[in-house]
Amino acid sequence: MRYLPLTTDDRTEMLGVIGAADIDALFVDVPAAARKRELFDLPRHAGELEVERELAALSAMSRPAGAGPFFCGAGAYKHHVPATVDHVIQRSEFLTSYTPYQPEIAQGTLQVLFEFQTQVAALTGLDVANASMYDGSTACAEAVMMAKRVTRREKAILSGGLHPHYAATTQTIAHAEGMEIVRQAAAVDAEAAVIAAIDATTACVVVQTPNVFGVVTDVTKIAEAAHAAGALLIVVTTEAVSFGLLKSPGEMGADIAVAEGQSIGNALNYGGPYVGLFAVREKLVRQMPGRVCGETVDADGRRGFVLTLSTREQHIRRDKATSNICTNSGLCALAFTIHMSLLGGTGLRQLAAINHSRARELKAAVEAVGLEVLTPRFFNEIAVRTPGPAAALVEDLLADGVIAGVPYSRLDPHAGLDDVLLLAATETTTSEDIAALRGALARRLGQ
């Protein structure tokens, strides 16, 4: 039986209190085309065994990323996650903990978050990091709203190299704050256009490196232009492993750095949950969303950890909070911290170098079959021009057992870049995988 706790009289009374004529009045803001009165075309209820069979059949239709040559990136990357990570995060003390409201019984969780902040600050080259954000895209949106609070300006410029999902998320959230979002047209190299757009009304400039097309950019000149106009520079990174090889956002003049931490310690997980990284210059810390764990000593002089800043609505009044996204992805942050602890600085640099080497091998392979590589400077991802729609080519290559990247049109259907394919290679990509891609491309291109 369906569980319906309210009677018809209960509902009538509730509608009367709020002044609604009927239940439909509660949905008046939902467009009529989006409302559905009849039942959805879904199977009716079934027994447990039947449900297991149905779900197993559906699951068999999916192909795991590790089942063959795999070149998808575009903001979510396939990296090796050491078994130690999974072993440690499944300890009950970590797996079942939520938010460290009571520091006296949450010292382990607080210490992990403190170490996480330390790692993120070191990676981004900035002074202070929080612990932590929901994911990279919402961290980007939070950074834009933070810039509004700091500069008291309303306009944000989003580079044409910013991941379309990050741009769309920022537009959605910032719209509610009354901000003007200037989203530039998609561009493989967007530096000049960004600098030209900065003016005295700009609150912040959002740039990504490596950008969605894989292009690595030294954003120092953009930082100088932004600061000259009194604006903040926000640098986005979707591939955290790149921190091991490239100049950090802080070194290039960023005021705020946000990133997706999935690449370190977290598997693809069908797109989530992930973990957002967020770091700022010290002078901006009180406008930073999220929370900050600090190190202190107790009454007996013993080392301890506390929440130093708690600016989320869970801790203070909602209207005073700097963020109302109610999760810090603590378990994913723990996985990130464990993996980073295993790698250390030397290990991360070596891992990053392997990624770049694999991408160079990938670039040579696609050029060998006559495809144009659009990415002049890259880390582990490149953009390729295809002779026809990239989406159709990807579908064709599936028949050869190769998952050949992400068509840009899948990220931004209206950009007019249907012939652009994004290909990524990581330490999990083998020379045999790249050879399989090259062979499949050669066959499909008639070579």
Planar angle of CA 124, 127, 130, nearest 5 degrees:
75
- The number of residues in the chain equals 447
Tens digits of pLDDT across the chain (447 residues):
466 788 889 999 999 999 999 988 999 999 988 888 888 888 888 999 999 999 999 999 988 898 999 999 999 999 999 999 999 999 988 887 767 777 778 888 899 999 999 999 999 999 999 988 999 999 999 999 999 999 999 999 999 999 999 999 999 998 888 999 999 999 999 999 999 999 999 999 999 999 999 999 999 999 999 999 999 999 999 999 999 999 999 999 999 999 999 999 999 998 889 999 999 999 999 999 988 999 999 889 999 999 888 766 556 666 777 776 767 788 999 999 999 999 999 999 999 999 999 999 999 999 999 999 999 999 999 999 999 999 999 999 999 999 999 999 999 999 999 999 999 999 999 999 999 999 999 999 877
Model pLDDT, residue 410: 97
3-state secondary structure of 44: coil
Closest CA to 384 of 395, 394, 376, 373: 373
The DSSP-derived string for 393-446 is: HHHHHHTTT-B--EEHHHH-TTSS-TTEEEEE--TT--HHHHHHHHHHHHHHTT
How many CB atoms are located within 10 Å of the residue 83 CB? 8
Closest CA to 181 of 212, 153, 223: 153
Model pLDDT, residue 317: 65
Cis peptide bond upstream of 132, omega within 30: yes
Kindly report, as residue ranges, where domains of CATH 3.40.640.10 are found in the chain. Answer: 83-340
CATH architecture of the domain formed by 83-340: 3-Layer(aba) Sandwich (3.40)
- What distance lies between CA 347 and its chain's CA centroid? 23
Greatest Cα-to-Cα distance within the chain, rounded to the nearest angstrom: 76
Kindly report, as residue ranges, where domains of CATH 3.90.1150.10 are found in the chain. Answer: 65-80+344-444
Model pLDDT, residue 100: 73
| Global model pTM greater than 0.85 | yes
Closest CA to 237 of 379, 27, 399: 379
Exposure class string for 35-47: b at 16+ Cβ within 10 A, else e: eeeeeeeeeeeee
Which CATH fold topology does 65-80+344-444 show? Aspartate Aminotransferase, domain 1 (3.90.1150)
Give strand pairing partners of 172: none
Exposure class string for 51-75: b at 16+ Cβ within 10 A, else e: eeeeeeeeeeeeeeeeeebbbbbbb
